[in-house]
Structure 1
Amino acid sequence: MNKNIVAAIAIAVTLTGCKTSPTGRTQIALYSEQQMDEMGVASFEQMKQEQTIEQNVKTNRYVQCIADALIAQLPAQYAQQQWEVVVFKEPSANAFALPGGKIGVHTGLLNVAKDQHQLAAVMGHEVGHVIAQHANERVSQNSLLQVGLQAGNAALEMGNVQYRNAIMQGLGLGAQYGVMLPFSRSHESEADVIGLELMAKAGFNPQGAVELWQNMDKAGGERPAEFLSTHPSPENRIALLQSKMTQANSQAAEAKRQGRNPACK
């Protein structure tokens, strides 16, 4: 039984093949873009039903202005998509983007992202998750992980191993802290890089990304150790962004030469 399960894992990975992310990282995606779009659209519709939507015209116009500037610089398959941008009346400093062309921004984020450049950094980061197909990777990885744990459980049952439950719990924790969370941190770092390039090409000031995370650091309070977190520490995020700043500044300067100079207020 366990051999069959392991073989199934190998066949699934072989059939899907490997994809390459925008930064050149190898990734596995078991689901089609259509399937992911359907998931994203369904989730967004549910959020709109369950959460309060901000009705302030100026706020919505401001967020839409930034989104339009960023979307115009996306790869063609995404730039041509019909994007929906919704501001949710929610105090947490958060934003998200979903497959299917959906962007959500919480009003609480506007208290931390002080200007268009800082908000563009967050929104660019979130759209970066979409164009890098991170949701597909995460769902695919979770599917493979569950199959792997089932295979381990089957092997232990066949071998009549003592303390099977304790061992399986240990395997589960090891998978979470050794696979799922670090993988999520790699997504966050990749989205930071993609978002920085995107905001620069749109004509926003790349330094806004560093300022944003400095603000987030001040507002964050106590945080778990990085190895127990799904996100890199603000210090590490800032260091990564600063290492890419020379190229980003050049891209922003070129954007301005081509007339891309957002003025979202």
Structure 2
Amino acid sequence: MKKLLILFLILLLGGCATSPTGRSQLIFMPDAELNSMGLQAFETMKRDTRTSSNVASNQFVRCIVEAITREVGGQWEFVVFEDDSLNAFALPGGKIGVHTGLVSLVDNQDQLATVIGHEVGHVLARHSNERMSQQIGTQMGISLAQAIAAPQTALGKTAIGLLGVGAQYGVIMPFSRLHESEADRIGLDLMAKAGFDPAESVVLWQKMSQASQGPRPVEFLSTHPSHGTRIQDLQARLPAARQIQQQANAAGKVPRCMK
């Protein structure tokens, strides 16, 4: 138990980091390990999911991805996957996937840039590392509580079980919602830096809301903000993002990615 406590304290004290928005983070996993995991996941998806051979769709996505990633640097690979779901993702290690369903949904380059900027924002903020670090830290904390309390009664064991549930809904899931909101902010600024119109982010999420009509979990028990909350936050950030876009356009950054 003493060794477990020392290790737990070392991880907490040594895992402090700061996100691109200035938020304090608990991160103690090696980034190289997360990058390797991202590469493996991407290769598995390329093996198991059919990729799009549509030239126009690939050129459209390539144009947007290159404009966005040019602002952050590094080596990035993208693939358009044949999948009707409204989804895209970016993985540690510089891997981006875009589903054909999302390409079909968007009206223009700016709307797709909203999603790609958001997903790249997750990578820039090291959200995968933070989430994994939180989960490991939570499990270690529960193990430590079990070792200290050593519950013998049914009531005591139930309390330990509820501690795990409380960690899930009180720590891990709220941070996931925070990750989404933070990625929205980073992505909005990133697309504006590349010269895309940030106002189209609101239109995109309105379209996503209409396309996903149906039962949704209440926001408290969801890992994503509600569409309404997301749109309100984006609208509040628009004035600053528009200034960034104007500066980018004045510097010659005027993307022309044709769908």
- TM-score normalized by structure 1? 0.93
Q: Distance in 2 between matches of 1:12 and 1:132?
A: 19
Query: How far off its partner does 1:32 sit?
Result: 1.9
Amino acid at match of 2:163: L
Q: Give the equivalent residue in structure 2 for 1:5.
A: 4
Q: Distance in 2 between matches of 1:145 and 1:171?
A: 10
Query: How far off its partner does 1:161 sit?
Result: 4.1
Q: Distance in 2 between matches of 1:144 and 1:244?
A: 33
2:109–2:257 CA contact under 8 A, matched in 1: yes
Kindly provide the CA deviation profile for residues 197-226 of structure 1, in whole angstroms up to 9, marking residues without a partner as x. Answer: 000011110011111111111111221100
Q: Is structure 2 residue 207 aligned with structure 1 residue 215? A: yes
SS at match of 2:211: helix
Kindly provide the CA deviation profile for residues 90-109 of structure 1, in whole angstroms up to 9, marking residues without a partner as x. Answer: 11100000011100001111
Q: Distance in 2 between matches of 1:149 and 1:113?
A: 44
CA change 1:245–1:228 in 2 (3 A) is: same
Q: Is structure 2 residue 198 aligned with structure 1 residue 198? A: no
Kindly provide the CA deviation profile for residues 14-38 of structure 1, in whole angstroms up to 9, marking residues without a partner as x. Answer: 233x111100000121112211111
SS at match of 2:93: coil
Matches within 5 A, 1:116-195: 116-157=109-150, 159-195=151-187
SS at match of 2:85: coil
Q: Give the equivalent residue in structure 1 for 2:89.
A: 96
Query: How far off its partner does 1:170 sit?
Result: 1.2
For the aligned residue pairs, the C-alpha RMSD in angstroms reads: 1.3
Q: Is structure 2 residue 61 aligned with structure 1 residue 63? A: yes
Q: Distance in 1 between matches of 2:52 and 2:138?
A: 39
Q: Distance in 2 between matches of 1:164 and 1:107?
A: 51
Q: Distance in 1 between matches of 2:123 and 2:244?
A: 21
Amino acid at match of 2:31: E
Kindly provide the CA deviation profile for residues 125-148 of structure 1, in whole angstroms up to 9, marking residues without a partner as x. Answer: 000000111111001111111111
2:57–2:103 CA contact under 8 A, matched in 1: no
Kindly provide the CA deviation profile for residues 160-208 of structure 1, in whole angstroms up to 9, marking residues without a partner as x. Answer: 3443432232112111111111000000000000000000011110011
SS at match of 2:97: strand
Q: Give the equivalent residue in structure 2 for 1:227.
A: 220
SS at match of 1:139: helix
Q: Give the equivalent residue in structure 2 for 1:28.
A: 26
Q: Distance in 2 between matches of 1:113 and 1:6?
A: 50
Q: Distance in 1 between matches of 2:167 and 2:13?
A: 22
SS at match of 1:90: coil
Kindly provide the CA deviation profile for residues 216-259 of structure 1, in whole angstroms up to 9, marking residues without a partner as x. Answer: 11111221100010000111111111111111111111111111
Q: Distance in 2 between matches of 1:177 and 1:61?
A: 41
Q: Distance in 1 between matches of 2:6 and 2:198?
A: 47
Q: Give the equivalent residue in structure 2 for 1:110.
A: 103
Kindly provide the CA deviation profile for residues 34-63 of structure 1, in whole angstroms up to 9, marking residues without a partner as x. Answer: 111111111111111111111111111110
Taking every aligned residue pair, what percent have the same amino acid on both sides? 48
Amino acid at match of 1:177: Y
Amino acid at match of 1:7: I
2:195–2:248 CA contact under 8 A, matched in 1: yes
